[in-house]
A = this chain, B = another copy of it.
Amino acid sequence: MGCYRYKVNPKDVDFRGLMTVSALCDCVLQSAGEDADFGGFGVRNLQEHDATWVLSRLALETERVLGEHEEFSVTTWVESLDRIFTTRHHRVCDAKGDVVARATTQWSMINRTTRRLISLDWLGGCHTVDEKIGIERPAKLKPITDATSRETHAVRYSDIDFNGHTNTTRYFDWMFDMVELKRMEKGRVARLDANFLRESRYGDSVSLMMNTTECMDAFQTVLADNVIMSALVKWSLD
């Protein structure tokens, strides 16, 4: 297990002064990167093999939303590893040691040139920890059939990362930008499930769709008739 420390910086909070889900997910993903680096199978190690990690699914549950300037830690471990996927858990604790969020991420490895999956067999020696995180695994989401709102977005310079594709957290920014401000004011994301199916790249024009109901919002990003990302948010409106 690795434990990585972060702080809620001014750019990580929204108009309420509370940490955005995008910023929290970014730290969760960063903890995976730092822990993989520590284990010798990080993105920089994989570059020698022309390989990289891609996020396939994510689940996040929050108990409390962190505020600006708060310090927190993410403890992370790999629970399992099969031929195609590896499952990692993340426990987010505040400065008092109380759990404020839990997440599970599922990763696969691709060849950077062909963009095709690579078997994880050669990571056989990777250390796994047989400990659950206490939330359900990331769900496999169904496509949205009746969107209540739609927009289009052109993928731009600020959207793309070192892999040349849209950064994971940008999908979350696009999603929460579609939600009514009233819900963002009062709501807490009790649970978020996300599936990442394909990449989008610079210049792509993607369609963003949302289906909103009383305490749940479903989202999907579509590129050339293919769903490339989908997500489901369950709100706590207390």
Contacts and interface: CB of A to CB of B under 8 A. Distances in A.
B158 A176 contact: yes
Interface string A14-25: 111100101000
Q: Give the bracket for the number of chain A residues in contact with chain B.
A: 20 to 34
Given A30-B9, A30-B10, A15 B177 contact: no
A116 interface: no
Number of copies: 2
Contacts of A68: 162
Given A9-B30, A30-B9, A184-B157, A17 B176 contact: no
Nearest to A179: B157
Interface in A153-188: 156-158, 160-162, 164, 167, 169, 173, 176-177, 179, 181, 184
B11 A169 contact: yes
B11 A164 contact: no
Given A10-B33, A11-B167, A157-B179, 9 more contacts: A10-B161, A14-B160, A14-B162, A15-B157, A15-B160, A20-B158, A157-B176, A157-B181, A181-B202
